[in-house]
């Protein structure tokens, strides 16, 4: 039984080219999981975009922090005998 969590009324069609081995693995995973290849790809892309959103939020949260100059950090390490 195949679960259909993809909202087909809002879905857009795209052509995606996969390496042959990746395509075969995706087909096998889809068959084994009862999900469509589209559902698996949509989930993978969503997870990647979620990671991007988390990175952006973290960057914005830290944007007010003081920046350190790389050269100053290296010189300081050398002066303290760390290098």
Tell me the CB-side half-sphere exposure of residue 59, using CA atoms within 13 A.
6
28 vs 68: CA distance, rounded Å: 49
Taking all residues of the chain, what is their mean pLDDT, rounded to a whole number?
Answer: 92
71 vs 17: CA distance, rounded Å: 44
pLDDT in tens, 28-62: 999 999 999 999 999 999 999 999 999 999 999 99
* pLDDT band, residue 1 (cuts 50/70/90): very low
pTM exceeding 0.75: no
* pLDDT band, residue 4 (cuts 50/70/90): low
């Amino acid at each position: 039984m195949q679960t259909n969590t993809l909202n087909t009324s809002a879905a857009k069609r795209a052509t995606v080219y996969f390496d042959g081995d990746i395509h075969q693995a995706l087909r096998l995973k889809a068959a084994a999981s009862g999900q469509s290849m589209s559902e698996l790809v949509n989930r993978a892309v969503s997870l990647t975009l979620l990671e991007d959103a988390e990175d952006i939020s973290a960057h914005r949260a830290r944007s007010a922090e003081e920046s350190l100059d790389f050269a100053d950090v290296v010189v300081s390490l050398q002066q303290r005998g760390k290098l």
